[in-house]
Structure 1
């Protein structure tokens, strides 16, 4: 008889654990619920659910339907496009869950907060700069070092008396710059054009076109 009573007690305890485990797995990735006394496991108390509000969540698609089920006890059902995909239960303490980057918190006063976990931006390695030419510009003192980064993407570092004072970036479109009357134009194919402003009363100087020779192509000949 004692063995039979012991067996019944074991089954009741095992049944309570199964109920709690099912509640945890069915929740919206929520923390484990509070342990209930074994004596009430076979006859759980059915709290009356009083609808409180429906809150639209941070993803602009999901909603939380909030119900009050007792003093300091609220339940939030998480719905998206007519489908329920989780439940949070807050009793004296906040309950939290997340699904596909959507984080939801149900507070013990029934308030719902949510936020979206943003994906980290993908960091792309910087394009390699390959020096293709060094050219003397129209003022005969400045130089332009032209680099190829990709097709239709060139950069030109402009130096005067050995000091770098600017970089032109031509990607799909030409880039222009000027310094102390020296004008430089970098085309997206790497060609450089330069000219200088003439003194007042003189005719404008003809632009000087500098044809670039790709060093890699020259070495391959």
Structure 2
């Protein structure tokens, strides 16, 4: 077997021939053993080998001998036949008596018999399909945000639980909430109401401290649809 480290050609051909149990038959073995060395420390000496059975029945013991460096010792029984060395990103290749052996830069060993099918590269995994956008299920809340004349914020929410309004300060602090079952709340002289007007719902803001001026908003769009100015009756 020709390789990066040579031994006696006569002895090698003899031992490979006696070790062959599948000689003359088409056989391909592609064994990706590189991942078995993932935990080996960089620059470490020879560690525990990974044993790979070759296409003719002999075995290869693969060692990680350094960063990006691997060696594969071929054995027939207890007899060492040859050694392949792969380092620096190179590929080591050996052949004898119809057996082909390749040691990849990551420690993977490929072997096949003369006349047999050469190993094909392992297919790359297909990218995971991206999920198609799904329509929002019924009942998912929609909302509009209103800046009210008192400087506060009203968030009008229409969801699975029905229509409701959440009143808060500009900094996000919630002051209270109303819905069609509890449609009114009073805070610091201001009144906030939900009013059912036929099929429409309106959100009403009343300035109780300023004499009763009021603003009416469409619940669905949040647009101001009506305003009322309280009349001051003099006596």
Task: Give the TM interval when normalised to the shorter protein.
Answer: 0.3 to 0.5
Higher helix share: 1
Task: Point out which structure has higher relative CO (alpha carbons under 8 A, 6+ apart).
Answer: 2
Q: Select the structure of larger CA radius of gyration.
A: 2
TM-score normalised per structure 2: 0.31
